[in-house]
Amino acid sequence: MDNKVEILLGSQKNVNSVNTDTYGKVELTSNVSEITEFTVNDVVNSTEVFDAEREANPVYRIYGRIEYMSLLNGLKNNYSVLEDFFNPQYSGNTKSILNSFDFYLVAPSSGASYTNITNTNKYKRNFKVIAGRDDFEIYPAGFTNNVYGEQVYGFSFKSDFDIANLYDYFGFPMTEIFLYAQYKPSTSPVEQMSYTTWSTSTGLPSKMTLYKKDLVIDDQVETNSLVDINDIVEWLPEDFLQTQVDTQQFYIRTQYNDSGVKWLEWSYNPFIPFRLRYFDDALSGANTGDTSYEIVNSIPEYATKLDNDGNYVWREILPQGYVEPLTGVGVDYPFSNKKRYLFSPIIFDIIPNLNENTILKHQNTLNVFNEISYVKNATNINKTPLTELDNIGKPCQ
């Protein structure tokens, strides 16, 4: 407990001293003030904080599920006759997605120029590797089969991906990256590969022999002879619009013996897209010469410069979690631990090449599949199926 202290007045210390208060007075008052809505939101609105953090974060973790749909799935590794293609084994020494492919993660390239197709707005788009095959994990998904009773596979990448500094040749920020599926042809029995290329003068497609190349991060996606593997996009700078108009197709030829050596040809698209985000449908524009600072400052770094007069156009990137009500365009990926979790269900199909285009068709494949009888001795069923809907909720008999 504090000792009591007596304070001597100044006039008692000296005749010329003035009496003063030694301690300052503290006035205790209470005033009622209203908490405004702005103050409440500014302090406790965790939703705004979450949205701001998600929009500012460019890191993705990608994983998903693959259903491998093909007659080559479950095919014997030592197939030799035509019937082998229609008798899947699913056990023992068979071909599967695990031993038939290398998978890479790739993005539209910014370093290598796109090749323009003469007198059009179409370009051959190139790709570069951002994750190697050793970064990709694929495994049988537990207790999961597709409608045909075949094993479904799960996949994931060992690392996360920061897309903040990824731009394509036209300066577009990444809205899609791709899983690149590279088939591994066998030598016994002999298998051959080819890919699609397009004439720079006419834009017409043709097949070229493909000798696969083992790729590493930052490699251009190309053949073993250093020829780029690409698809076709249309670029309209005035509309800030880039659209894929022709996909890449890989072709697999499988050899069998049927009174002589014959081939079947199969096709698939090796670039499987992962949608990261979308651009807005509305086109924005501004001029740097005669507009206000606020408007000039609103021009994003990826905007397209149209001319030397300072005219720019762009489309805003739709915020995460927003889906346009009429078109359904938008993404809403879970956001946690400073990354966005992108789950992608993939149906990976390799189909017979039944293209009747003179350049791309394979005649023996057309002949074989035109001869297949899918239904024999079919009869019409006129009897109306019985229904138990009226008995729902009633006691069992």
List pLDDT tens digits, range 61-116.
999 999 999 999 999 999 999 999 999 888 888 999 999 999 999 999 998 789 99
The continuous run of DSSP H or E covering 53 comes out as helix 46-56
Instruction: Give me the pLDDT at residue 378, please.
Output: 60
Burial 62-84 (b: 16+ CB within 10 A, else e): bebebbbbbbbbbbbeebeeeeb
Q: pLDDT for 110-159, tens place per residue?
A: 987 899 999 999 999 999 999 999 999 999 999 999 888 899 999 999 99
Give me 166's structure tokens: 């990824």
Identify the residue with better confidence: 394 or 352: 352
- Going along 229-379, which residue ranges are E strands? 231-236, 241-246, 250-257, 261-268, 271-275, 284-287, 304-305, 311-314, 335-336, 339-352
Average pLDDT, the chain: 89
Report the alpha-carbon distance of residue 360 to residue 369 in Å, rounded.
16
Q: pLDDT for 273-298, tens place per residue?
A: 999 999 999 999 998 876 677 888 88
Instruction: Give me the pLDDT at residue 73, please.
Output: 94
